[in-house]
Amino acid sequence: MSNSLSKTTAYVQVIQNDQQAINAAYQVADFALEGRNTRDQQRLLPHEQIESFSQKGLGGIRIAKKYGGAFVSNKTLAQVFRILSKGDANVGQIPQNQISLLNLIEIMGTEQQKQFIFSEILAGKRLANGGPERNTHDSKTLKTTLTIENGKYFLNGEKFYSTGTSFAHWLAIKAVHPEGHVVLVIVNRDLKALKLLMTGMGLVNVLQRAVQLN
């Protein structure tokens, strides 16, 4: 079972409007349909299909035009994921939280942060959610903490049901800041202090993971 990520992304298509997004979705869905049954039967992860999603430019379709994205309508966004899901339900699910996270970054991020993260996504990189936590009263309750010592940032905690982490280059982790408010921390998935543990929940080939931060 491969968990490897491409270090350098091949040519990434720049989607400029809604119709181009729909066309790209059909292309990815057709590719995802090939070998779908074999992947399900052999529990093979759709790494190539998710890479195709990125290369076709679909990862950035809700990024604002001022940052180079297409900012397609909600109707088109829903249609894109319906098309992808018809090709392979796993491919239709895995990238969904990236769209939500990018919207959150649009709201919370500084201009410098948005320019960096959005440019990474438009270059083919992928972002996944660190996920909720176990043994909490609700999804808004956090035990994961961010501490700052001598200008260095440290995360400590564990996330559960972290869909798409095996396919992502960056993880978005919600944590409690030393001042008490909640922040969203973007970390490199290859960080040595970050451990991905397979939980086996969810769709067959989505691969849910728990994330440990030390």
In tens, the pLDDT along 138-167 reads 666 788 888 888 888 888 888 777 778 889
For residue 130, the model assigns a pLDDT of 79
What per-residue confidence (pLDDT) applies to 154?
A: 86
Q: Classify 152 as helix, strand or coil.
A: strand
pLDDT at residue 3, rounded to an integer: 44
Residue 89 has a pLDDT of: 95
Question: Domain 18-125 is in which class?
Answer: mainly alpha
Q: Output the pTM of the full model.
A: 0.83
Q: Which CATH number fits domain 128-206: 3.40.50.720, 3.40.50.970, 3.40.630.30, 2.40.110.10?
A: 2.40.110.10
- Say whether 128-206 and 18-125 share the same fold: no
- Residue 211: its pLDDT value, please? 45
Residues in the chain with pLDDT < 70?
Answer: 1-9, 138-140, 192-214
What local confidence, expressed as pLDDT, does residue 114 receive?
A: 97
Domain edges within the chain = 18-125, 128-206
d(CA 94, CA 126): 10
